[in-house]
Chain A
């Protein structure tokens, strides 16, 4: 579905990503984990075509992705950031935004928006202003907006990190259910191994802009790695 070869990204004379190779199979949910500043969100931006890499090549559905990414490819992905980033309008309009951009007929938009608001348990907020929502509600609406466009690849950049523990737990459970029913091809960035363990099939650990370990989350915890990787994972092994 998505492949990255020898990705290097330099920003302000600093190498943020060093020779990253990555692949994502259809239906797979891959986690990117690492401490703050490890480059995981930068990698997500590159993989989601929001920033062009300094060097290296991206392939999407078998085709090389040009530097200026065509709209047809950009419209096959969706991203949810740490902040919900809702527009200053109603909940319905926010979820409908990506569909309106794609020029879907009104009836289809209503069907899809209602379905995804229902899936994330926020259908009752449909007529409310996005400004009136709590953090957890706003993030659910943001997820509904991303799923509504039925992307080929979904990118989640620390979607729970701004939420309190109980809200986070509830949303993680609901998201896991949605993943199970949709088989959405997903890249999840998190600095919390619990998120990765619950939601992904495979995880990559990034340290200082490099992939230092990868594999199924349960095995990453069991196996021994470089000292600094073990030190990072030790926080979650208990």
Chain B
């Protein structure tokens, strides 16, 4: 119990004194996970839209693969991204293994199926007659898609929350492709594991509290926006 209180106290101390290393790790975590989530939106929303609105052979199979991808283990993604980015791998010439870029790529791969599957589900749940109505208003194909995406915007916010939540809390991929290099690729999750392995439980607890606060803070804004616009209580 004492260890927990020590951890909480250490967390408060690190936060109140604005410990430079913790601030740096926190900002880097936010930057990497934010960018990874943003890229996953650029991939996931168009792909989810295609799956929801365009019938083509094998669509159901691909959808089942995407749905499975929602539970994709980050360590598996880390392994495969490492293989591809390894010096002797197909993209080794890019020289980005053990860089923040490598973590961003891995996190975008983790979040993309989540965003795609939730986008697809949201669009498929729209009233088919509403889709007819939008067409009947004279919308072009692009206007039709844009209006439907606007209609499911609150579900898309949920997709962003889920995508960000998944990447900010993962460790397997960040460790495998980032290498936990101090001041360069060390993020909150990998730093926490490192401190646990060193037996520094107080710092590990402090980092984990910061991680939770970061995840909560980032999603709180989105949740409030979602609830406010949906007219929630």
Contact = CB atoms under 8 A, between A and B. Distances in A.
Given A85-B127, A87-B147, A129-B231, A149 B137 contact: yes
Contact-residue size bin, chain A (C-beta under 8 Å from the other chain): 20 to 34
Contacts of B134: 87
A83 B129 contact: yes
Interface stretch (B29-37, B138-146, B173-181, B212-220): B138-146
A149 B133 CA distance: 14
A113 interface: no
A74 B132 CA distance: 12
A234 interface: no
Contacts, number: 47
Contacts of A74: 135-136, 138
Contact of A71 (B129, B136, B140): B140
B21 interface: no
A79 interface: yes
A71 B142 CA distance: 13
Interface centre among B130, B135, B138, B231 (most CB of A within 10 A): B138
Given A129-B231, A131-B231, A85 B129 contact: yes
A89 B148 CA distance: 12
A11 interface: no
Contacts of B130: 85, 87
A165 interface: no
B227 to A, nearest CB: 14
B136 A79 contact: yes
A88 interface: yes
Interface string A157-195: 000000000000000000000000000000000000000
A75 B139 CA distance: 8
A45 to B, nearest CB: 8
Interface of A: 48, 50, 71, 74-75, 77-79, 81, 83, 85, 87-89, 97-98, 101-102, 129, 131, 145, 149
Interface of B: 127, 129-130, 132-140, 143, 147, 150-151, 231
The 3 closest A-B pairs by CB, nearest first: A75-B138, A79-B136, A85-B133
25 contacts: A48-B136, A50-B135, A50-B136, A71-B138, A71-B140, A78-B136, A78-B137, A79-B132, A79-B136, A81-B129, A81-B132, A81-B133, A83-B129, A85-B127, A85-B129, A85-B130, A97-B147, A101-B137, A101-B139, A101-B140, A101-B143, A102-B138, A129-B231, A131-B231, A145-B137
